[in-house]
Amino acid sequence: MQKSICIWFLWLFIPLTIVAQEFKATVNKDVVAVGDHFKITFKLNDKGSNFQAPNFSSNFRILSGPNHSSSMQIINGNFSVSESYSFILMPLKEGTFTIPPAKITVNGEVIESNPITIEVVKGSAPPPSSAQNNQSQKNQSNQSSISNTEDVFIKCYVSKSNPYVGEHLVVTFKIYNRLNIVDNNVTEMPSFNGFWSEEIDIQPTTQYEIVNGKRYQTAILKKMVLFPQRSGKITIDPLEMELVARVPERRRGNSFFDQFFGTYVDKKLKVRSNPVTVNVKPLPSPVPANFSGAVGSFSIQMHINKNELTVNDAINLKFKIKGNGNLKLIEAPKIEFPSDFEVYDPKIIDKTAVTSGGVSGSKTFDYLIIPRYPGDFVIKPIEFVYFDLSKKQFVTLTTDSLKIKVLPGNGGNTSVSTYIPENKKDIRFLSKDIRFIKTDKTHLKRKDDFLITSPLFWTLYLLPVLLSMLFIPVYQKLEKYYSNTALLRQKRAGKIASHHLKKAKKLLSENKTDEFKEELSKALFDYVNRKLQISQAELTIDFVKSKLEEKQVPQEITNEFVKILNDIEMARFAPSAALADNELLANAEKVINELEKHLS
């Protein structure tokens, strides 16, 4: 009987209307400073699958995500299902960037979210408005902390607890969860002091594990390869996260649906991994004098692309190290080149991969060499010393010597000298002790004619001082201008509005009328939001009208602005009675141009 009554109530109160799917992208702030972070959320008012995140390109770094959550709500008899995917992003450079739409499949159909425009400024982002502060305080008051962390915790694992200096170990941070997590944020990352670190790329996957008889959903948060740089005990600092969990509220609901379905509350908690101490062993003594720090298992090669060439021709010498170990820390070898060779700094070719097995691959040092004098030359063998982890001892590898024959060039020096390493300093200036006699007119100076007494010297000396005196006020003015983010928002209002209008025009040409009207409305509201410094909570037509009147904007322009907004709304809900879309676009462009003249 009670079950029949419950079903009857459900049919009575749940509306039988079909709601169109809406996949919307939102951000918690659209103006953010370089190095700061913001949250982007893609919310669907239905059940979806195959979520495809947008390409955040090289303008943003993903700090967290994708974080998935879903919910079912019954509010005032209205039943709804929704799910969301969120990311925490950090901008890497200044500018205005558009994040493209995300995609998701609903009932076999792929739908897209709206693109999001983010303005990245230098320095601190503008402070939130008072209305946003009040809303934030309200949200915080609705969230309480959870003291019990048995249902969610982070564990830190290391592959080795007693490695040698320079020997790799893998550290893994893994989260165990039994709650409905709706939001998360990494608040503190380990610094890995005492280690050289490389991150391992991992695919975000979840698994289930049984711990102490309880079933947990687990995921790897971060995986790193560490190389200890000193001996002794080194502690790996904890990784700390702030989570928001949606848990049932333990109180009797006031309505029938609260009693039947229960109510939920979002609660905050902070979790951190366990610190792990690694005891690093020193390398055994005695350490060879020519040991440069390589630890692992390696092989070496040294070769040149030709053994015979003419003066001033170029050759390439390549020294290649291949194997597994701390390859990225190995520096260029010390090669003793003949003094008659002009040698350039080596080009480093790094072909290494970072995996759970460490760093493996090859590292090549490519030297460009130009012999300046003819002769027979020898490059001595190179010794490479490393500590072999399998043998637990130092190993010395030696290359072969390289012989190079340099022939005289056409019309060049025909004398041939044999290279003798012991006497290389004596032949360094060979053929340079006699110079050509100059036959042209040469300007001579008196011996006591010093440059410091000339007008040119004092002009060049004082010119930087004068230029710096002119530059400093200009620099201070520019610094003050760019640090004022509120002023920047005002200055860029017209540019951002132009961007929205251009996008609206494109949508109109594609016959996407609904998106066109939404973008046109966004162009108008976003313009006054930036130009008049109006918060989102106060962004209403009446308030905008009053602010325009305060700025002494002519009444006819104010009325035209309000009329266009009303025309857009009418076009949405009563298309037959509305103006043509082309006329709406032209009126919007005209009124924004007029406002720009009076508000600039």
Token pair, residue 24, equals 């919307």
Decide if 1 is inside a domain.
Answer: no
Task: Give the DSSP H or E segment for 131.
Answer: helix 130-142
**pLDDT the model gives residue 144:** 45
Tokens coding 316? 């390439």
Q: What is the model's pLDDT at position 8? A: 35
Q: Do 197 and 150 fall within a single domain?
A: yes
Each of the 600 residues of the chain gets a pLDDT tens digit; together they read: 444 434 433 433 333 334 457 889 999 888 988 878 888 898 888 877 888 888 887 788 877 667 766 665 544 445 566 788 888 888 888 899 999 999 988 888 889 999 999 999 986 444 444 444 444 444 444 444 444 478 899 999 999 999 999 999 999 999 999 988 888 888 888 878 889 888 888 887 888 999 888 899 999 999 999 999 999 999 999 999 999 888 887 655 555 555 555 577 888 889 999 999 999 999 999 999 989 899 999 999 999 999 999 998 999 999 999 999 999 889 889 899 998 899 999 999 999 998 888 899 999 999 999 998 999 999 999 999 999 999 999 999 999 999 999 998 775 554 444 343 434 444 344 444 555 566 666 666 665 566 666 777 788 878 888 887 887 887 777 776 666 666 777 777 788 888 888 888 888 888 888 788 788 888 888 888 887 877 666 667 778 888 788 878 888 888 888 888 887 777 766 555 456 778 888 888 888 888 888 777
**Cα–Cα distance, 54 to 59 (Å, whole number):** 13
Around 78, how many Cα atoms within 13 Å sit in the side-chain half-sphere?
8
Indicate whether 143 and 118 sit together in one domain.
Answer: no
β-bridge mates for residue 75, sequence order: 78
Is residue 385 within 8 A of residue 283, CB to CB? The reply is no
Can you give the pLDDT at residue 133?
45
139 and 268, same domain (yes or no):
yes
- Do 68 and 23 belong together in one domain? yes
Residue 86 sits in a domain whose CATH number is 2.60.40.740
The answer to whether the Cα torsion of 590, 592, 598, 600 is positive or negative is: negative
- The residues facing 244 across adjacent strands are 183, 268
∠ CA 140-141-146, rounded to 5° = 75
Q: How buried is 371 (Cβ within 10 angstroms: 0-12 exposed, 13-18 middle, 19+ buried)?
A: buried
Residue 143 to residue 426: CA distance in whole angstroms: 82
Among residues 69, 39, 274, 41, the alpha carbon closest in space to that of 175 is found at: 274
Residue 449 within any structural domain of the chain: no
Secondary structure letter of residue 305 according to DSSP: S
Same domain, 102 and 210: no
- Shared domain for 563 and 520, answered yes or no, is yes
Please report whether residue 558 resides in a domain: yes
Inside any domain, residue 433: no
Q: Return d(Cα 357, Cα 352) in angstroms, integer.
A: 12
* Interstrand relation of 38-44 and 78-91 (parallel, antiparallel or unpaired): antiparallel
- Residue 44: inside a domain: yes
What is the chain's length? 600
Domain ends where: 234, 250, 282?
282
Residues 404, 406, 408, CA angle at the centre, nearest 5°? Answer: 175
108 with 190, same domain?
A: no
Residue 312 to residue 5: CA distance in whole angstroms: 99
**∠ CA(555), CA(589), CA(559), 5° rounding?**
20
Domain assignment present for residue 592? The answer is: yes
**H-run or E-run covering 313:** none
Query: Tell me, what's the pLDDT at 261?
Result: 53
Please report which helix (H) or strand (E) contains residue 567, including its range.
Answer: helix 555-573
Tell me what pLDDT residue 360 has: 93
Residue 163 CA to residue 173 CA, distance in Å, equals 19
Q: Are residue 262 and residue 298 in the same domain, yes or no?
A: no
Question: pTM of the entire structure?
Answer: 0.48
| CA–CA dist 59, 189 (Å, integer) | 22
Task: Name the residue range of residue 23's domain.
Answer: 19-127
Q: In the chain, how many domains are there? A: 4
